[in-house]
Amino acid sequence: MSLALLMALSLLGGQPAAPMQVAAFERAQTTDQDQTAPAPGETEDVPPGAPSDDYGFVGWCYGATDEYLSIYPKIVPDLKEIDKLFGSPVRETEPYATDVAAEHKAAKRFADAMAAAEKANPTLHDQGQANIAAGRAIWSQAEALPERKLADAWLFWGIPVRCETTAKRLHAHPQQAAATRTTTQ
């Protein structure tokens, strides 16, 4: 998404545009360090009420991302209109198809990390479903808006930075996360 488009949309909405979380994804893919705490700035974009444990948080991230992806087909016409109005240097058959493909991959990483933790502790599954539902629920207010406003919200949203690093840590150490989860409840 072009910076000019983000700035224009933020002016229309009266709110600053949310930064994309590409750096977090790249950092999560390229580092093998075991991070026990979020890096500085990784919690700044995590909404209040999101779970704090690794398994719960990754479930929340999966739910929020999955709902983001389910909204996309509904708003494609609005995204095309927004691109016509403001212009876009990206030429794709479907608007933001590259972004959507990247989010599908992120959702798969989150699901894989959860599956690893559930394999280590099968009792996590029910709580995971609740966390997924909570993540999806963050879109409920936006989905009640007219589709153009929903498209604006969709454009501004980005996966919290912490989702990628937490999913990587959970996948690498599912026993530790599962043990932490059961002892802190």
- The CA-based angle 75-76-80, given to 5 degrees, is 120
Cα gap 170→172, rounded to integer Å: 5
- Residue 182's alpha-carbon distances to 113, 130, 144, in angstroms, are 17, 15, 36
SS3 of 107-143: the string is HHHHHHHHHHHHHHCHHHHHHHHHHHHHHHHCCHHHH
User: How do the pLDDT tens digits run along the chain, 185 residues long?
Assistant: 433 333 333 434 443 333 333 333 333 333 334 444 555 555 567 888 899 999 999 999 999 999 999 999 999 999 999 888 887 766 788 899 999 999 999 999 999 999 999 999 999 999 999 999 999 999 999 999 999 999 999 999 999 989 999 999 999 999 886 555 444 44
Determine the pLDDT at residue 44.
Answer: 64
Q: Can you give the residue ranges of every domain in the chain?
A: 3-12+52-184
Can you give the pTM of this predicted structure? 0.74
